[in-house]
Amino acid sequence: MGAPDIVVPVREGLVNPQLRFALRSWVANLAHSRVWVVGHKPPWLHDVRHLPTRQAGTKYQNTTVAVRAACEHPEVSERFLLCNDDMFVMRPVDEMPVLHRGPVRDVERYYAARASGLYLRGMRETAALLAELGHPEPMSYELHVPLPVVKADMVKALDAGRHLDVVHKRTLYGVLNGIGGDRIEDVKILHRAPRFPADATFLSTMPDSFSHGHVGQHIRRTFPEPSRYEAPGRR
What secondary structure letter does DSSP report for 197? -
Cα angle value 46/48/54 (rounded, 5°): 110
Percent helix, strand, coil in the chain, to 5, is: 35, 15, 45
The CATH T-level fold of domain 5-95+144-168+181-222 is Spore Coat Polysaccharide Biosynthesis Protein SpsA; Chain A (3.90.550)
- In tens digits, the chain (235 residues) has pLDDT values of 689 999 999 998 767 999 999 999 999 999 999 999 999 999 999 999 999 999 999 999 999 999 999 999 999 999 999 999 999 999 999 999 999 999 999 999 999 988 778 999 999 999 999 999 999 999 999 999 999 999 999 999 999 999 998 999 999 999 999 999 999 999 999 999 999 999 999 999 999 999 999 999 999 999 999 999 999 866 5
β-strand pairing of 79-82 with 188-189: unpaired
- For residues 127 and 151, is the Cβ–Cβ distance under 8 A? no
Report the C-alpha gap between 205 and 184 in whole angstroms.
17
**Strand (E) or helix (H) holding 221:** helix 214-222
Alpha helices in 16-146 (DSSP H): 17-29, 59-72, 104-112, 118-132
Report the C-alpha gap between 101 and 187 in whole angstroms.
10
Report the C-alpha gap between 232 and 235 in whole angstroms.
9
pTM as predicted: 0.95
